[in-house]
Amino acid sequence: MDFFSVEFFTALMTIVFIDLILAGDNAIVIGLAAAKLPKHQQKQAVIWGTVGAVGIRVIATVLVVYLLDVPWLNLAGGLLLVWIAYKLLVQEESHDNIKAGNTLWQSIRTIIIADAAMGIDNVIAVAGAAKGTSHGDHELILVILGLLISIPVVVWGSTLFIKLINKFSWIVYIGSAVLAYTAAKMITHEKKFNGFLEDDKVIYWSFIIVVVILTVLAGYLTNKRNMAKTAKKQESSGAH
């Protein structure tokens, strides 16, 4: 695949978008971990914590990219990513277990550990996007480029992205659809299927469209049901 091809830039944009849509939690973790530090150390904690977290993530993603050649791992990774895409829509993450550090090193360590624990979704998604659209060294370049482009956003712009998601809830649905699309492509690349899902373009695109629609629809219906439950609870508590 050529570095200046549409395919390469599409893959890169997909990776950057995945990084951004999953960056909200990172921003919250970074903010909480650095909250108790003096002002002059907060910026250092954010920068070094993010550098450490991104370094670990690059290594983990590169390992996953090459592990996806192992039989059934594309299918397992794809199914996990479908679940992550669904969770992105319906699950409200709790950050109660993230403790603010009292020293610069404690804060940096908290950011790195928390990011590594929470980053499995990002790693699987980025590896899937790279694997699904490229071969050989291009995968490594895509992963690193995507993460490098995303670093400034994670460090400085994630809070703005959180505000956008809160204001325009449909952005999360687009993010979920992108993840579901990446998941479906990962599953089609499963070698054990012997090209069954890849060779016939009608089956290939039908499968991808069905996965995306079902994932987003499941999230939407769950949200609707949860909202109805909340409204019912509020009504019953108001009646008392």
Q: What is 20-77 written as a DSSP string?
A: HHTHHHHHHHHHHHHTTS-HHHHHHHHHHHHHHHHHHHHHHHHHHHHHTTSTTHHHHH
Confidence (pLDDT) at 106: 82
pLDDT beyond 80 at 200: yes
Question: Can you give the pLDDT at residue 137?
Answer: 61
Measured in residues, the chain has a length of 240
Residue 22 has pLDDT above 80, yes or no: no
Reply yes or no on whether the pLDDT at 1 is more than 60: no
Residue 144 has pLDDT above 60, yes or no: yes
Verdict on whether the full-model pTM lies above 0.85 = no
Judge whether 175 lies within some domain.
yes
Report pLDDT for 7.
Answer: 78
Band the pLDDT of 102: cuts 50, 70, 90: low
**Domain region containing 167:** 6-239
Q: Which of 1-10, 159-168, 198-207 has the lowest mean pLDDT?
A: 159-168
163 vs 56, 90, 142, 158, 175, CA distance in Å? 27, 18, 28, 9, 15
Q: Tell me if 21 is assigned to some domain.
A: yes
CA 154/CA 84 separation, integer angstroms: 19
- Which range, of 54-68, 126-140, 148-162, 174-188, averages the lowest pLDDT? 148-162
Is 223 part of any domain?
Answer: yes
Selected residue with higher pLDDT from 232 and 215 = 215
The C-alpha atoms of residue 63 and residue 51 are separated, in whole angstroms, by 19
* Least confident residue range of 71-80, 96-105, 196-205: 96-105
Instruction: Please give the tally of structural domains in the chain.
Output: 1
As a whole number, mean pLDDT of residues 211-228 equals: 93
Distance of CA 92 to the CA centre of its chain: 15
Tokens of 158: 């994630």
Residue 3 has pLDDT above 80, yes or no: no
Average pLDDT, the chain: 77
At residue 94, does pLDDT exceed 60? no
Question: What radius of gyration, in Å, describes the C-alpha atoms of the chain?
Answer: 19
In a domain, 1, yes or no: no
